[in-house]
Amino acid sequence: MTFAQACVLFPISWVCGALNSVAGGGGIITFPTLILVGLSPISANATSTVISWPGHIVGVAAYRKELQNHLRLSWLLSGVSLVGGILGAILLLYTPTATFDRLVPYLLLVSMLLFTFGNSITTRLQSNPTEVDQANWYHLLKVAFIFFFVAVYGGFYGLGISFLILATLQILGIKQIHEMNALKLLLISCTYGFAVITFVLAGIVAWPQALLMMAGSVTGGYSGAYYARKLDPKWVKRFVTVVGFAMTSYFFFKK
């Protein structure tokens, strides 16, 4: 990593940390930025996952009380997340670099569509709830089967997974926002956890970039959030949407 690259990555990670504290979507900017500064797409994907993982773990600790209301569900879906996450990560490692290069624009497009329309999807599910009996293991296993593929996606790529998880929880009939956020953070932490271990053992994480951007993200999350919260979250989300679609278009035209 050169000094010029560091001068680009730190402020961008600071901005992403501030955005995550208000409207989310920082990873949508982090991943393509790492590619633009010279990392291979697979390394950029793994490094982006490592950068975001600690923030989710901290979030779980903050929501530990809310998790007490869904212990059975937490244990079941956490186990599914671990298995799906590691399978997704292994799938990434065995994907040829040229193939993943071709997938990058489409993966970015998927994550942008989830970011842009994810709230609309979950709101629609909430207004038309299909509540599942959480005491019934048969129903829970059906949801776990669906979530397994969400976890595989999370281990393989991950951007936009939060909206897929929220949609799955809506299917379960969970409506309390803090409980949903608690479960979402727990499941992302588990999905990313084994994926991170897999990426580290495979040696594809760019540690200088990862550590620098972690520092920038944490700094931005604390200091930038004070100013970012003065903005309407809708405008923050629109900013991420414009930048994200611009980067997506760039990678499509670059092909």
User: What pLDDT was estimated at residue 217?
Assistant: 83
Q: What is the DSSP string of 187-206?
A: HHHHHHHHHHHHHHHHT---
User: What pLDDT was estimated at residue 22?
Assistant: 60
User: What pLDDT was estimated at residue 166?
Assistant: 77
Q: List the domain boundaries for the chain.
A: 3-254
Q: What is the mean pLDDT of each run of 10 residues along the chain (255 residues)?
A: 88 79 70 90 92 79 76 86 93 90 85 72 54 60 85 87 78 72 85 90 93 86 61 70 80 74
d(CA 89, CA 157): 8
SS3 2: coil
User: What pLDDT was estimated at residue 211?
Assistant: 93
User: What pLDDT was estimated at residue 180?
Assistant: 79
The pTM of this model reads 0.78
